[in-house]
Structure 1
Amino acid sequence: MALQIAEPYFRVAEFPDGTPFIFIERREGDELQLFKNGTDFRLPVGSTMEQAQAIADYLNANIDRIAENT
């Protein structure tokens, strides 16, 4: 097993109906399966773009690396 490590970037996007969600991308480091799969985080119904951005900002400030065993 090999340990893969990458720095994530969380960005806000929206569905065609305007519903915001948070998408995770690789900023640098290894290409984890998490990024290859196009992972996103669905927020509670009624969340605003401002709330989504605040969550993404918090995640970007507080999650430094993601590790994955391959």
Structure 2
Amino acid sequence: MLRRLCALVVGGVLSGFTFLLLSGQYINDGPVLLTVSQHHGLHLGDLFVLAGWLVAMLALLTLAVLPSRTR
């Protein structure tokens, strides 16, 4: 059950990232927190994307570390 939940989380987060990458826009970019160049920077909305990435990576780690139960 936990493996399926983790896989669902990973699939949802990665699907959301795909949408963001394809559209090139966020629903709410928010203010710029860190300027990288004249046309690029880290927005408040990027923190949401980074948090989602972290959740997905933790779910994948859980899938990789937990021993599988064979019936």
Q: What TM-score does the superposition give when structure 1 sets the normalisation length? A: 0.30
Between structure 1 and structure 2, the one with the greater Rg is 2
Quick check: which one's strand share is greater? 1
Quick check: which one's helix share is greater? 2
